Amino acid sequence: MLIDRLYEEVQSKGNVCVGLDTCMEYIPKDFKDKYYFEQDALFRFNQRIIDATADIAACFKVQIAYYEALGIKGLMAYKKTLEYIRSKGSIAISDIKRGDISSTASMYAKGHFEGDFETDFITLSPYMGMDSIEPYLNYVKEKEKGMFVLVRTSNEGAKDIEFLNTKDGKKVYETVGEKLEILGGNFMGKCGYSSIGGVVGCTHREDAVEIRKKFNNTFFLIPGYGAQGGTEDDVSLYLNQGNGGVVNSSRGILLAYKKCEDSSLSFEECSRMEAVSMRDKIRKACLK
């Protein structure tokens, strides 16, 4: 199962998920000016970040919106970025947050688990119901693919829906998590986690221990670290003995060169230093 690969990557490399949510504005001007076409600068920047962090990152998350915003040329950079991640033997998560049903969902599954945009994991929104997830399941079973479904996100607006009480007294996100835990039981890896994981933000730490305990077979994609305010101590509460989740950082790693005190270092060297620091802080927090 794909989840066993990810589990082993975390065991050997740590929990860092490098987020390639790459704006053109993030790319240093002197580097960007070397390329005539935006898509070339975008891909080459990503390539340098990947090369600098592949040995210390459990996976890479590519947010499709940053590439769609540039049209066809952006999607070409998206395609090449995914291909490059996977050619390095690393795991790619495509952050697409699709949420539709029936034949439409089947086409989304085909579009992101096959062809030009093939990836390893995708993110999904469950708010049209659990049947919005069903069209992807054959890929999990037959094609070594996986998914991370939104459970409790890191944004402030999560409280508008995810924290509402249902008629049985549970929060909406708890109901979603329970349904995923049941569904995920059909796709368990040897590591004790399912290839159907959950997105759980680390910025609401008050019920973190309960969430980790309640959804014990669900592997977490954990946003909210760094720029959104989450800390290594917050993150550690969502892990089981240092595993069971990957922690995404995008701006913190991509823009590390802007706060690096050593001006002689390249942008990718600064990104590597930030990723190593993040990994080590999380490991240390998990030992407390």
- Please tell me which residue in 32, 79, 97, 171 is annotated as part of the active site: 97
How far CA 149 is from CA of 35, 67, 162, in Å, comes to: 37, 21, 13
- Cβ contact 59:91 at 8 Å: yes
Strands (E), 9-138: 16-19, 59-63, 92-98, 121-124
Q: Cα–Cα distance between 245 and 267 in angstroms, integer?
A: 27
Q: Give the CA count within 13 Å in the CB-facing half-sphere of 22.
A: 29
Pick left, alpha or beta for residue 254 (phi over 0 → left; psi -120 to 50 → alpha; otherwise beta).
alpha
CB under 8 A, 24+ apart: contacts of 257-260? 257/28
Give the pairing of strands 146-152 and 196-200: parallel
Q: What angle do CA 70, 76, 82 make, to 5 degrees?
A: 115
The answer to whether 97 is a known catalytic residue is: yes
Taken in order 190, 194, 200, 205, the sign of the CA dihedral is negative
Q: Which two tokens stand for residue 206?
A: 């008050």
Q: Give the number of other CB atoms < 10 A from CB of residue 285.
A: 17
Pick left, alpha or beta for residue 115 (phi over 0 → left; psi -120 to 50 → alpha; otherwise beta).
left
The continuous run of DSSP H or E covering 141 comes out as helix 137-142
Active-site amino acid positions: 97
